[in-house]
């Protein structure tokens, strides 16, 4: 084998090593996560329910959400049998303000 052939083979091997890193990154995948972070740990119950405020001061259709950080159960009024708030009299989309329905003592599950 001539010196020129050895140099060409070494150059090719070096070039291959340099390109191997960037090329291999093209085929790497990143995992997808369903939950973005624990700062926003909220469970939203499927469907629409009749929400009743403690003491019976309020009763309205809406969505139930549980804050998994502290166990607070919130009701988001929709006023209709839809999964989002509806106001047919306004051109602007309505915003549902939650009210506290109750609380789950999540810490008690770990003491059993």
Q: Is residue 12 helix, strand or coil?
A: helix
pTM: 0.61
Looking at the structure of the chain, the number of domains it has is 1
Looking at the domain assignment, is residue 27 inside a domain? no
Rg of the Cα trace of the chain? 29
Looking at the domain assignment, is residue 28 inside a domain? no
For residue 61, give its domain range: 41-111
Looking at the domain assignment, is residue 92 inside a domain? yes
**Number of residues written out for the chain:** 112
Looking at residue 59, its pLDDT comes to: 94
Looking at the domain assignment, is residue 80 inside a domain? yes
Looking at the domain assignment, is residue 48 inside a domain? yes
Query: What residue spans of the chain are helical by DSSP H?
Result: 3-26
Which positions ≥6 away from 15 have C-beta within 8 Å?
Answer: none
pLDDT tens digit sequence for 43-82: 999 999 999 999 988 999 999 999 999 999 999 999 899 9
pLDDT tens digit sequence for 8-20: 888 888 877 777 7
Looking at the domain assignment, is residue 36 inside a domain? no
């Amino acid at each position: 084998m001539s010196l020129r052939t050895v140099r060409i083979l070494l150059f090719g091997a070096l070039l291959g090593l340099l390109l191997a890193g960037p090329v291999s990154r093209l085929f790497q995948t990143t995992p997808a996560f369903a939950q973005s972070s624990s700062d926003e740990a909220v469970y939203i119950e499927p469907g629409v329910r009749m929400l009743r405020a403690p003491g019976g001061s309020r009763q309205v259709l809406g969505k139930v959400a549980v804050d998994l950080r502290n166990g607070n159960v919130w009701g988001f009024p929709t006023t209709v049998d839809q999964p989002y708030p509806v106001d047919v009299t306004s051109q602007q989309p309505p915003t549902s303000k939650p009210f506290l329905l109750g609380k789950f003592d999540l810490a008690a599950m770990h003491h059993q």
